[in-house]
Structure 1
Amino acid sequence: MNFQIRRATSGDLLFARELTCQNMLRYYIQYDLLWQDDAFDVAWAGRDNWLIVGEHQTLGYFSLSHDARALYIRELQIAPAFQGQGAGSWAIDQVIDMVREQRRPALRLTVFENNPAKNLYQRKGLQVQGKDECFLRMQLDISTAVL
């Protein structure tokens, strides 16, 4: 499947919120965290959001923020029907290209410690930098070769 990205609009908020809740709710329940639609909506409004599309359908999205030290993946969500088909890996490659284009020193993200996505992130060169409660903090230094 060929993948592309396009900037998300405010009209894509509902899709992103529902997909994130669907994919992440089990972790929220497991760790006794409270999912809040309003909090998601506020975060969405302050981030750089991109849809992942393929074959005329939306497969998922990623959400970014940045500071002087890094570009941060705040969300990377793939619809369950499309997981395991390379869209997540491809999306990470696109973000790594953005990190390079913006000349940021690192790519960072946080992932639930028991989320299998951490294996994908490790394959892409991100390394665990620390642990906070139920989360792993991961980073790819931009000088690191990417697989």
Structure 2
Amino acid sequence: MAFHLRGATDQDLSFARSLTFEAMSRYYLQYGLLWSNEGFDVAWAGRENWLICSDDAVMGFVSLSRDSRALYIRELHMLQTCRGLGAGSWVLEQMALKAQALGLLRLTVFKTNPARRLYQRCGLIIVGEEDCFWRMERVCQSS
């Protein structure tokens, strides 16, 4: 299956917000955190957002930010029916390529989220923790 990224627009906000809520609501409940649609929308507006696609079908999205040292994956969510097809691994490799100019790819993941295993298989290691999150990173040097 071939995957590609398509730049997300404001018309994709509702899809991204509902997918994120669906994927993350159990962790918010588990850790006593409050979901905010408004908070999601503000974060979306300040980030680089991409739809993950196969042909014309949207499978999920990835949301990014960066600083002088790292590319940060802020959100990475796949539709339930599109999980396990290799798109998540493909996206992580694409993000590692994007991160080469900066040196690091970083993300945080809820400690109980099984996606941590995917991140580890794709070369991210746990470098710290904050409350209910693991901080993970991968060194991405251009050769």
Q: TM-score range by the shorter chain?
A: over 0.9
One-letter identity of the residue aligned with 2:116: K
Contact residue 63 and residue 75 of structure 1 kept, 8 A: yes
What residue is the counterpart of 1:116 in the other structure?
114
Please state if 1:96 is matched with 2:93.
no
Deviation at 1:55, TM superposition (A): 3.1
What residue is the counterpart of 1:55 in the other structure?
55
Runs of 4+ displaced beyond 2 Å: none
Deviation at 1:56, TM superposition (A): 1.7
What residue is the counterpart of 1:32 in the other structure?
32
For the aligned residue pairs, the C-alpha RMSD in angstroms reads 1.3
Structure 2: how far apart are the matches of 1:38 and 1:58?
A: 24
Match of 1:133 among 112, 131, 139: 131
Deviation at 1:144, TM superposition (A): 9.5
One-letter identity of the residue aligned with 1:9: T
**Structure 1 gaps, min length 5:** none
What residue is the counterpart of 1:105 in the other structure?
103
One-letter identity of the residue aligned with 2:75: E
- TM-score, structure 1 length as denominator? 0.94
Deviation at 1:6, TM superposition (A): 0.6
Matched residue count: 143
**Structure 2 gaps, min length 5:** none
Structure 2: how far apart are the matches of 1:23 and 1:55?
A: 23
- TM-score, structure 2 length as denominator? 0.97
Deviation at 1:143, TM superposition (A): 3.5
Contact residue 50 and residue 62 of structure 1 kept, 8 A: yes
Structure 1: how far apart are the matches of 2:98 and 2:137?
A: 15
Q: Percent identity?
A: 51
